[in-house]
Amino acid sequence: MTHPTQAKPICSRQGEYAILCDLGAATASTVDLMLQHKVWGMSACLAAHADVLEVVPGMNNLLVIFRDIQHDFDASEALIHDAWENAPANASQGRQIVVPVVYGGPDGEDLDLVAHHTGLSRRDYIERHAQATYVVYALGSQPGFAYLGGLDPKLAVPRRDVPRARVEAGSVIIGGHQASILSRTTPCGWHIIGRTALNCFDHTQARPTLLTPGDTVRFEIQEILA
Amino acid sequence: MIEITRAGFYTSVQDLGRTSWRHLGVGLSGAMDAVALSVANLMLGNPVDAAGLEITMGQACITFRTDTEIALSGATVEATLDERPLSNWWALSVRAGQQLKLGMVNTGVRSYVAFRGGLAVPPILGSASTDLKGEFGGLQGRALKNGDVLDLCQTPPLPRRNSGFGLPVMQRAPYAHRHNEPDPITQNDATIIPIVHVLPAAQWSDLTTAAQQLLVATTWHVSPQSNRLGCRLEGPILPTRRRHEMRSHGIMPGVVQLPPSGLPIVQLCDGNTSGGYPVIATVMEADLHVFAQLRPGTPVRFVLGDVTHAAALRERHQKFLDDIALRCELTRRRFQ
């Protein structure tokens, strides 16, 4: 249910085929879980529409990609507003995924840095990271990469000024107020605190991504290396 | 079967890309110059989206292990077949053992070689394209190396050999065919500056009025840091009215982002599926292929339009391809 006083989400063109719909306040950099439930509900509803090619959920927003050029912006916007008014928020818990992590050591080389930055001991930092429950808000950026909500604010560390040229897939990473797992080996400006052996993206599987929006994630301490 | 005898700077298997998987973080990939690959396929009677090779800046050699028919398109490149000069935008039958060599690229960046029936590469998520970032598609998800061997799809042999035909309409500069604008913009040396048409996007209004004018009044230059992921542009810094942190959101190929540097980046085929930089504009789909052939240091201009304009461009684009398809079909009757 949408509260009647809540403002309609803001829609804007992103090219002739797509419309970006933003549910969050334009000024807010934080992400709201209730709004994200609405994003998931709207995404499911709009993806089933015959005129829609694909819906890409983002952080409190969604990109609706239509099959054809959208000549009439008002009509496309009305379709999205209709989904906002009528699609039920999807608060389903999804699956619960446990991600075993080897913290520290050569594959978690920033652990001392993030612990020092936050004023926590290595052990405290790891335990807080592993105690929290994270929600998969959306996938994007690289195949199977999950935007997770739920990082303990005490664990936040600003991203590196200069990204590393190469960070291995499976790296468990912290960037600002976000936690994630690198799904592919790429350049990355986030801090590396450990490594998991789980594969976040396997194109040979019917469901290629380890994580899906709505899933909850818990990191499990497999080992702590000096 | 073909052998990549010399892979060159960057050669990969591409078709027209992977659509509708952006919600998994899987991007488009595909031929940067979709027009060039489509036309090469049409010259062989293939579907436009058959898989071929994208060769960056020439300097490559392909040895045919079986008889087949090929088409060469895209950049203007010095090409030979068994050391005899071969025209660009040209299709012909080749025999097992013959070698196609691409040398210096004179204009543009990317050449395409299509094969009768297409490369036999199993589709992943609906496409044979190489997703370099995802490490799948094409040949083991990577750029081709010397000695790689690729199979061709089985096709019935042609009743008569194709002794060779070309498309003179395409043989001007790789992107000049679409310059039927009434007043093309030229540089001092009279070279035509490529134009891409853009639509305003979500953060267009965050640009100052001066910045909005600067975007379209500037002759931008392509940065050397441009690649299949994106085209970085060099020129004046675009001032904004406000700067706010954006939450990550889905983005399409062709979005023009404005990072804190104030210099625009156009996301291309291998670009991210989501981003947080302000999106000031989007390149109309019919013009996206232009970026495939822009070398570092070369100029490019933006022209602002609306959706009616985008639809007209698409229609013209489709008609152009339909005309080429008809011309190729008529020509192919000689040997089919």
Domains of chain B by start residue, with CATH: 2-171+324-332 (no CATH), 177-305 (2.40.100.10)
> What digits encode the pLDDT tens for the residues A101-142?
999 999 999 999 999 999 999 999 999 999 999 999 999 999
Shortest CA gap B284–chain A (Å): 7
Q: Read off the pLDDT band of B13 (50, 70, 90).
A: very high
What integer is the mean pLDDT of B100-127?
A: 97
Residue B189 pLDDT: 61
Chain B CB within 8 Å of residue A53 CB: yes
Shortest CA gap B15–chain A (Å): 18
Q: Read off the pLDDT band of B169 (50, 70, 90).
A: confident
What integer is the mean pLDDT of B201-216?
A: 96
What integer is the mean pLDDT of B93-119?
A: 97
Chain A CB within 8 Å of residue B84 CB: no
The answer to whether residues B78 and B103 touch, using CB atoms and an 8 Å cutoff, is: yes
* CB-based contact B272 A142, cutoff 8 Å: yes
* CB-based contact A58 B20, cutoff 8 Å: no
What integer is the mean pLDDT of A151-159?
A: 93
One-letter-per-residue 3-state SS of B62-122: EEECCCEEEEEEEEEEEEEECCEEECCCEEEEECCCCEEEEEEEEEEEEEEEEECCCECCC
Is it the case that residue B98 has pLDDT exceeding 60?
A: yes
Higher-confidence residue: B259 or A2? B259
Q: Taking Cα atoms as reference points, which of A17, A217, A203 lies closest to residue A97?
A: A217
Query: Cα-Cα-Cα-Cα dihedral of B173, B179, B183, B187, to 10°?
Result: -30
Tokens standing for residue A107 = 């594959």
Tokens standing for residue B220 = 């931008």
**B102 vs B59: CA distance, rounded Å:** 5
Domain locations in chain A?
10-86, 96-225
pTM summary value: 0.93
Largest separation between any pair of C-alpha atoms in chain A: 60
Residue B26 pLDDT: 97
The answer to whether residues B307 and B229 touch, using CB atoms and an 8 Å cutoff, is: no
Tokens standing for residue B5 = 């005898």
- DSSP letters spanning A80-125: HHHHHHHSPP------EEEEEEEEESGGGTTHHHHHHHHT--HHHH
**Strand (E) or helix (H) holding B39:** helix B34-43
As separate numbers, helices (DSSP H) first and strands (DSSP E) second, chain B gives 3, 19
Please return the burial class of A141, using the count of CB atoms within 10 Å of its CB with bins 0-12, 13-18 and 19+.
buried
Residue A1 pLDDT: 46
Is it the case that residue B178 has pLDDT exceeding 60?
A: no
Using an 8 Å CB-CB cutoff, list chain A residues near B244: 26-27, 29
What integer is the mean pLDDT of A211-224?
A: 96
Q: Read off the pLDDT band of B244 (50, 70, 90).
A: low
Shortest CA gap A121–chain B (Å): 31
Residue A2 pLDDT: 47
> What digits encode the pLDDT tens for the residues B34-80?
999 999 999 999 999 999 999 999 999 999 999 999 999 999 999 99
Is it the case that residue B236 has pLDDT exceeding 90?
A: yes
**Which of A85-99, B96-110, B161-175 has the weakest average pLDDT?**
B161-175
Report the percentage of chain B scoring pLDDT > 90.
85
Among candidates B25, B249, B311 on the partner chain, residue whose Cβ is nearest the Cβ of A139: B25
Q: Which residues pair with B127 in a beta bridge?
A: B124
**A117 vs A157: CA distance, rounded Å:** 7
Topology given in CATH for the domain delimited by A96-225: Cyclophilin (2.40.100)
Is it the case that residue A185 has pLDDT exceeding 60?
A: yes
Q: Read off the pLDDT band of B192 (50, 70, 90).
A: confident
Q: Read off the pLDDT band of A93 (50, 70, 90).
A: confident
Residue A175, Cβ neighbours under 10 Å: how many? Answer: 17
Residue A177 pLDDT: 86
- Residue A3 carries which side chain, given as an amino acid letter? H
Topology given in CATH for the domain delimited by A10-86: Gyrase A; domain 2 (3.30.1360)
Task: Enumerate residues 54 to 113 of chain A having a beta carbon within 8 A of any beta carbon in chain B.
Answer: 54-63, 65, 69-71, 73
> Does the CA dihedral B57-B60-B64-B67 come out positive or negative?
positive
Residue A4 pLDDT: 42
Higher-confidence residue: A27 or A64? A64
Q: How far apart are the first and last CA of chain B?
A: 22
**A18 vs B137: CA distance, rounded Å:** 26
Interface test with A, best of B21, B24, B125, B318 (most A CBs within 10 A): B24
Residue B184 pLDDT: 57
Which positions ≥6 away from A207 have C-beta within 8 Å?
none
What integer is the mean pLDDT of A138-163?
A: 92
